[in-house]
Amino acid sequence: MSLVVVGSVAFDSIVTPAKRQDEVLGGSAIHFSMSSSFHTSTKLVGVVGEDFPADRRQILRDRGIDIEGLETVAGGKTFRWEGKYHDDMNQRETISVELNVFERFEPVLRPSHRSARFLFLANAAPRTQARVLDQIEPGAFVMADTMNLWVQTAHADLEDLIRRIDGLVLNDEEAALLSEDDRTIPAGRMIREKFGLRYLVIKKGEHGSIIFHDEGEVALPAFPLATVTDPTGAGDSFAGGLMGYLANASDLGLQSFKRGVAWGTVMASFCCEDFGVHRMTRLERSEMQSRFDEYQQMLSLAAD
């Protein structure tokens, strides 16, 4: 089934202990759709400036992503972000943010977007996310992401948004801030129940993720990676794998959702293997499937 993602398109400059990469293709909607496009047809809604080159558009088209909803602002400049990772790759420091055209982004869904049955609201101001939600036809399965900034500066708007959606993806820090509880399980239960969410996923980076649903919790580990080259976009690749799988399976039951999270986990692991979307541009379906099979086998506790 059709999947729409609304979010940022950016040029990311990334410093890791090993290497520096300038202005690689990034942003939440990019990482999400590069991942989801392996599972279902994906329509991207976002905004860029006139400086966004044709070869970057081609990367998206090569993955079959529908970019009719990618607006170009005349005379505008594309969103830029610069970040630095420290030794253990778990701590990220934002060096600079230039929102540029993303600052006044007012997403407008085309008729073909409005009838989508799956919608992902990538991190943006909760009011912007809500305006997208206003445009989608009723009955779509909607999930969203957010960030600490919105928990702190737009709390009421964020709460209003979360009450209107089906699923939410947070990292452990965001969950602690939103629930005012550092303990992941109580925090997740509280958030899911308070906002009446069908699914909540709390991401713990290298420690995996926990699904909260009405039958309890499901903890799944990350795929063990020996080398993390650049974790930027791993969370959005995770969400893309999850939503892409769900849209393709058209099954929102728990077992299907677990398989979706497993696909999210696998897609996020590929994302971390290179800068930007480099790994995704050369990912083969066969290696993707074989990592999923390996992950499923790793978790199988069946007796020999």
* Coil vs helix vs strand at 92: strand
Site map 57..96 versus a copy of itself, x via CB under 8 A: ------------------------------xxx-------
For a copy of itself, give the closer residue by CB, 153 or 296: 296
Q: Does residue number 225 form part of the binding site for a copy of itself (CB under 8 A)?
A: yes
C-beta closer to a copy of itself: residue 54 or 301 = 301
Tell me the longest C-alpha to C-alpha distance in the chain: 64
Using the minimum distance from each CB to a copy of itself, give the nearer residue, 83 or 205: 205
Map residue 229 onto helix, strand or coil: coil
Strand order in the sheet with 10-15: 20-26, 10-15, 79-85, 92-98
Q: Amino acid letter at 252?
A: L
Closest approach, Cβ 259 to a copy of itself, in A, equals 6
Q: Which residues are CB-neighbours of 15 under 8 A, at least 6 positions away?
A: 82, 83, 84, 85, 95
Which lies closer to a copy of itself via its Cβ, residue 286 or residue 300? 300
Footprint (CB under 8 A) of a copy of itself, residues 249-268: 251, 253, 255-256, 258-259, 262
218 binds a copy of itself (CB under 8 A): yes
Write down how long the chain is.
304
Distance, CA of 240 to chain centre: 6
> Is residue 221 involved in binding a copy of itself (CB under 8 A)?
yes
- 233 conformational bin, left if phi > 0, alpha if psi -120 to 50, beta if neither: left
Smaller CB separation from a copy of itself, 138 or 224? 224
Which of 75, 138, 139, 224 is the binder for a copy of itself (CB under 8 A)?
224
- Of residues 147 and 185, the one with the C-beta less far from a copy of itself: 185
> What mask, x for binding a copy of itself by CB under 8 A, covers residues 160 to 199?
----------------------xxxxx--x----------
62, exposed or middle or buried, with CB in 10 Å at 0-12, 13-18, 19+?
exposed
Phi/psi at 111 (5° precision): -55, -40
Is 206 an interacting residue with respect to a copy of itself (CB under 8 A)? yes
Which residues, including other chains, have CB under 8 Å from residue 180's CB and lie 6 or more apart?
none
Interface residues with a copy of itself (CB under 8 A)? 87-89, 182-186, 189, 204, 206-208, 210, 216-228, 251, 253, 255-256, 258-259, 262, 295-296, 298-304
